[in-house]
Structure 1
Amino acid sequence: MKRFPVKFLLWSSLLVLWVLQSGTNGNSADICKADSEIEFQIHVQTPSGNDFVEKEDLEETFVCLLYPSNELNCSWSFHTMDKDSQLSVHIRVCNRDVEVHSLKEESVERDASATLDITGFEMSSVVLHFNMSLHDNWTAYTFMFYKNTIDILSPPPRINASVKDKDLSVTWDKPLSRYFYNEMCFEYQLDMGDQKKHKTIEKMRLYTEQKVDPTRTYRLRMRARIIANNCEGCTEWSHWSHTVVVEQSVFTLNPLVVILLTLAIHLILAVLLLRYRRRLIDVLFPPIPHPPPKYKYFLEKSDTFNFFYPAMPAKPEEEITEVEDIEKSPQNTSLEKHQMDLKDKCGHVW
């Protein structure tokens, strides 16, 4: 166990004062001024004394997380607590050595959580203080979280995904954080929808899935965290990002197919052009109009205006009968009678 003698003495002195001030109730005092640099160690107080223990050595668990929305959530679980014991919690938000916000609950469940909105507050650390009491016995737990160790990253923004040559390529931007981190600090997880195991990517912002199913629709989402061994920061996963949908067409065009289709279309157009070229030429270059043969007679006449102006109807011919005054004779009489008979029958002079 790593020890810091100076800090340990400082903490011990303060804890003695806490015990004197709180008596047998185990209530916490203001510890923002302690400015402890001892991480992953929990101060445990009992009526018989106090000690520092590693967080991993306790069966009780408690954690605080600061989300991008400025929501501070602290949760705890006391599995070894007697069912008749009473548990209280005091959450203190500190900005250096000044307490700026707090929440105190005198009675809480052994498995529960509490949320504080720290919008408008500057903070550097959070101090959790639990007091578990049963009759005259009590045990107090105190732990300090530093802001950079509880600052949850934002999900990776601007996720782009596309399929090319049967490979699914995914890119994204660095997660947003209140602190600056190098590219080597980030670890990502990619959820591709129906896969049982997430894809884990470290130290890069590119992933390629080879030989994907061309008929499948992919729904992608991502989350991020800080790699504990590389950088100091929050090792809890961020929330999942928004879902990016990648839809693919069932029919994918092959370059050879495109060339063959182009040649086939040109060939069909050429055949149609050869077959109907006469009609096409007539449409594009119409011939000089010429009259039908039935009008040839009118065009050959010298007086061409008769074609445009109809001829006037001819006057009916007048019937003129000349009568000679001659001396009648029997022969002439017979002849005249015969002519009269013909006139009556034919209606005109013979």
Structure 2
Amino acid sequence: MEVLSAQASLSLSREGKMFDTLGLICMIWWCMTLFHPLHADLQCMEPETQESPITSMTWNWGRMELSWESSKNFPHYICTMTSGDERRRMPVENRKCRFSIEDSLPLHRGINFTIGVPDMNILKHCQFIPEGMKGSAIENFSCVIYNVSLMNCTWRAGRNAPEDTQYFLYWKNSSDENKTECELYIKGENGMHIGCRFQNVMIKDETAYFLVNGSSKDSQIQFYDDYIKLYTIERFTAPLNVSVNCTSDLEDCIITWQKPLTSYWKPEHCFEYEINIRKKDELEKDKKDPPVTVVKYTYEFKNYNVKKQYVLKIRARGRSVCSVNTSWGEWSEPIEFGQEKDYFIVVLLLLIVLGTILVTLLLFFLCKRYCSFKRIFPPIPQPRDKFNISHNENIQTENMFPSSLS
């Protein structure tokens, strides 16, 4: 029994080691599949006239560095990186060209490297061709910084990517840092990563490097990379400390504010502001006056009507003279100013008038029902007309006593 138990334990131990080995192999294979595009070889072309003394060109993705060997000791070299119509050129005195984030070009479209020796007809051309299934790389990649220190990056899966494709985002915030992976992915259907949320983002260099690669059991996924100027993707918060000071004697209002908070310092002339003022009883769609754009921190509202109430909003954007986002940022909270109609006084006066009319009518009907108007309003006696009375008496006397002459 002990022998059988020992054999069983040995068998289980061997099976466990075998599964561990298989698991390690699978992990290594997955990592190689995931990072394989990062280590694609350079395809170099030899000149037809003569063999170049420059050999063994190597591209170090992590350091963004091109290195080579040379059978001759030249004092100077010129490195050239070309992608489409864009070109970067760098003179060096050794056998390494290290491109900064600001000087590098994306590699996912393919790129050409050239090493030359000044004043000599010596050139070495190499081409970087990304591997993987065409159409499997992500599309519509974009990032935005908001609320000063938060950043969202989103993308869409490649049109030819297999259903089991999973994407992974890495980025470098400065030339001296290593690439770090996203910590909070945004997931879409089937759990596929379609974006990433970053917190506590600090702009160190003007440009950051982003890399999105993928893995699939069916095929090799092409990578996507890009260099983005972080200053140009920041969506500005609303301007600070917006205030309105109206003077009834001059019939104008002075509006003041301060520039928005940003993840980096920029001078005041880098911003411009849009001022939106409408009457409170006017709908936004019915607003007649267009918004006003200014570059100062004050604005004088001249069409102020002291009997009206207004609603004010302000937003900011960067000017093209600076390296900033030229899209409009967030609106400030609406601020109401001006004199609102005193409906209470109007209603009070109306009630007083109606009450007076009702009381008058009530007294009229009560008096008509229960009172005699002759007692309340007795007839006014007429004054005695002595002239008419004497004349009438004389006529009567003549009738009673006719004249003796007759």
Bigger-Rg structure (1/2)? 1
TM-score, normalised with respect to structure 1: 0.49
TM-score, normalised with respect to structure 2: 0.43
